Amino acid sequence: MTYTIEKVTTLIGARRYGEQDANIGFLLTDSRSLCFPEETLFFALKSQRNDGHNYIPELYRRGVKNFVVTTVPAGYDTDYADANFLKVVDTREALQRLAERHRDEFDIPIVGITGSNGKTMVKEWLNQLMSPDMKVTRSPRSYNSQIGVPLSVWLMDEHTRLGIFEAGISQPGEMLALRDIIQPTIAVLTNLGAAHQENFESMEAKCREKAILFHDAETIVYHEDDEVVARVVEGLNYKGEKLCWSEKDHKAPMYVKSIEKKASATTVTYIYKGGEENWYSIPFIDDASVTNSIVCAAVALKLGVKADQLDERMMQLEPVAMRLEVKEGRHGCTLINDSYNSDFNSLDIALDFMNRRPDHKGRRRTLILSDIFQSGEEAGKLYREVGDLAGKRGVEKFIGIGPEITHHADEIQIGEKFFFTSVETFIRSEVFKSLRDEVILLKGARQFGFDQITELLVQKVHETVLEVNLNAVVENLNYYRSFMRPETKLVCMIKADAYGAGSVEIAKTLQDHRVDYLAVAVADEGAMLRGNGITSNIMIMNPELSAFKTMFDYDLEPEVYSFRLLDALVKAAEKEGITGYPVHVKLDTGMHRLGFDPEKDMDELITRLKNQNAIIPRSVFSHFVGSDSDDFDAFSAEQFARFDAGSKKLQEAFDHKILRHIDNSAGIEHFPERQLDMCRLGLGLYGVNSRNNQIINNVSTLKTTILQLRHVAADQTVGYSRKGKLTQDSVIAAIPIGYADGLNRHLGNRRGYCLVNGQRAEYVGNICMDVAMVDVTGIECREGDSVEIFGDHLPVTVLSEILETIPYEVLTGISNRVKRVYFQD
């Protein structure tokens, strides 16, 4: 669904500056998450540490033309002549009001979920239970805040038949706005816990705040056996349907008669609204999953799921990807990483998980725990309860980190225990160094930096270096931009470690020069970039089925080229609670490598894309087979015709703008009329013009040094298998580079050469793993002198021609043990 900018102006009560027509389909509050600038409305939110107004110039340059602001930029009518600015008193309230008005458009069941724990699991399981019958729109991940809720509700469209949204609060006065946005027909309170308790005078006060979600709901779902919850509900004078559940009251609308746990499944027997006895089973045995399943059962039955359907679907429930992860660690350890927060209830859940996790090795269980915040409880009592809980959950070794938990060390009654005031002191300790053969639960508040522990638990000295000229990268970028229309976007390929140049520094340079997209081959490359501060859009060209979670976690946008990949990606996104995730659709127009058939597959592809809301096509593209050669121009024309037809058909099926791109480096120059919405710059960025195999501006220079000089008589040989036969007395230099560094063995035996002090020196004998030998007879040189393998004076294209290959192979073959040295003039 889209709204005209005029309609949005009216809905939020704004004063409009600018007269540009626009349709709004996407709301943005974080400039780093920009994906669809053409239809994006940016809300310039203010916080204590940041001001969204500071990002308006950058967003404008990236294509955003519509902004909600409290202050209109000076010179808006000249500097932002084609933009609209909607001025309001409070941008966050404007965002919330727009979402509220959007919610008013829907007369469908809406489930609002609040509670201290279990919100995300209940939401995701309800989606799994209900999505076979209808299209469900739900909160992505844990979008349950004052910002996340309106962004979630905005995702509903004309196909939505059920909305499921989380509502999270941390202090009094927050729920009212969320209630007005969600307007639930069914309101759910999962449970009460200690999270954010320090902001409320009592548990009952927090419950009353959460229960504001119940107001005006047709049905409320809660646990009747919780005395605090029951008392608060009783005081609401609520007139709607109370769909409470109970293990004690057989008259309760959802009476849980029995819970039977087996080795790997749990069966719940229940009576719904006084009817006949029924049951369902779930493939989980932990207490949290059982409780959450009961809440889901009550809601699903209310929404019309039959008892036999419920039993069938409950047993098919899949684990919800939360924040807890299990990883194999070093020294025989297994890590259970839940180091996102540290509160008592979530600690109990994590300890329960660890305790129930089979360990055939019989390793001891270790808990590494930080100070616990937001408990609202006296510290001594709190840590005494923590010690009791840990002991009951099978913890044999306790490591406390933080000043408060250290101060209350005596309250922890675990046999083997250690305490440190900070992560840094722990890492330097013998306790850390001695971690061996243990199952370790990491449970820490985010500010303690437990990721340092994770990284350590889950040096290159080399005289051969690859010098990378960052100025040349920028010059090459601008060279190709000079052939492009200003409005055409650009994807820069930095896969294979930026063609050997080192993706992190190249990405930083490109990001600084505001390229629209970066592209890598696999998700791990993208995750590494994110970990090094890269916030640009990142495309994954070869997504692997095992890497979906990595892509979701790091906002990496995958290419989709087959129905198998499409289905798996949709399923993974739905499991993660993700909606509207951008993907890039690949069409096979003649390469016959990967891609959908633009003639045979488009109808089925469109149908599948339209029948889900987990992913959304951001772009559609294809590859020219031979844009680097005039010989293939006729075939290139055929390819473009196929792509043009297929891509237009895809665009016609969707309201939002789908970027089209087919030109690569060679195509940008050779086929300017086919630049379309975006182009992809690969080899040209690194200085090689694939149209003529000439160097534009050289980026990478591979250098080494002379280790040793040796005089060798004419009757001697050099290297393995005596391949290096000499015909005269010679001076042979050994250089510290070999095929393990990326120096191709086929250059040996005088087939290839390097430059020593600017003069040609042939490789003699076989190139070894770590060392090569070159003939420097007649060249004035000494040990320690520089040797150029390829670079400014010996183009990489010379080596590729000798090897009868392409420059890509030479550049990407340089191993990671070769140190990269970056410079700019």
Instruction: Supply the residues annotated as catalytic.
Output: 495, 720
Classify 707 as helix, strand or coil. Answer: coil
Decide if 441 contacts 367 (C-beta within 8 A): yes
Contact yes or no for 114/206 (Cβ under 8 A): no
Residue 165 pairs in a beta bridge with 112
Cβ 546 vs Cβ 708: under 8 Å: no
Q: How far, in Å, CA of 311 to CA of 346, rounded?
A: 28
- Supply the Cα-derived Rg of the chain in whole angstroms: 31
Dist. CA 735–CA 772, nearest whole Å: 5
* CA-based nearest residue to 383, from 353, 362, 403: 403
* Total number of residues shown for the chain: 825
Within 10 Å of residue 704's Cβ, how many Cβ atoms? 22
Q: CA 713 from chain center: how many Å? A: 61
User: Tokens 């090094």 — which residue?
Assistant: 532
Question: Are 448 and 370 within 8 A, CB to CB?
Answer: yes
Nearest residue to 519 via CA among 542, 548, 500: 542
Classify burial at 276, counting beta carbons within 10 Å of its beta carbon; exposed 0-12, middle 13-18, buried 19 or more.
exposed
Q: What is the DSSP string of 529-567?
A: HHHTT--SEEEESS--GGGHHHHHHTTEEEEE-SHHHHH
CA 624/CA 693 separation, integer angstroms = 17
CA 474 to each of CA 515, 539, 664, 698: distance values in angstroms, whole numbers, following the listed order? 11, 20, 17, 11
| 3-state class (DSSP) for residue 45 | coil
Structure tokens at 569: 């990606």
Query: Per-residue DSSP letters for 376-389?
Result: -S-HHHHHHHHHHH
> For residue 213, what is the DSSP state?
G
The pair of structure tokens assigned to 7 is: 């309609």
**Amino acid identity, residue 444?**
G
Cα–Cα distance for residue pair 631/349, rounded to 1 Å: 65
d(CA 280, CA 282): 7
CA distances from 184 to 120, 165, 343 (A): 16, 9, 28
Is 79 in contact with 153 (CB distance < 8 Å)?
no
Q: Is 67 helix (H, G, I), strand (E, B) or coil?
A: strand
